[in-house]
Amino acid sequence: MKRQYTVIDEAGLHARPVSLLVAKASSHPNEITMWYKDKPYTMKSILMIMSLSVQQHDQFSIEVQGDNAEEILDSLEAILKENKLAS
């Protein structure tokens, strides 16, 4: 299952909310991938996600594979929305 988002935060994807996303992704055994500029990156590495320097207005997708994919994706999306990071 995959969903696309647009960054709305002026600072782009920054450390505090990204750390929450990575912690949530790491708490599941599923393969969780962030697609940015048509390339896949693991959502379980804060260094990987921060190194992308995703800016305001950039688009990215999150893909979750395996059991409970929709539930996991919903929980990641909640973090994005609660932190006003992406829509």
Q: Render pLDDT for 39-70 as a digit per residue (tens, 0 to 9).
A: 999 999 999 999 999 999 999 999 999 999 99
Q: What residue numbers bound the domain in which 64 lies?
A: 2-82
Mean pLDDT, the chain, whole residue set: 96
22, part of any domain: yes
Number of structural domains found in the chain? 1
8 contacts 86 by C-beta, under 8 angstroms: yes
Return the CATH number at 46: 3.30.1340.10
26, part of any domain: yes
- Name the band, by pLDDT with cuts 50, 70 and 90, for residue 32: very high
Instruction: Report which residue type is found at 42.
Output: T
Task: Give the whole-angstrom CA distance, residue 41 versus residue 49.
Answer: 7
Active-site annotation holder among 3, 8, 9, 14 = 14
Helices (runs of H) and strands (runs of E) counted in the chain: 3, 4
- pTM tops 0.75: yes
Q: What is the pLDDT of residue 11?
A: 94
For the question of residue 28 being annotated catalytic, the response is no
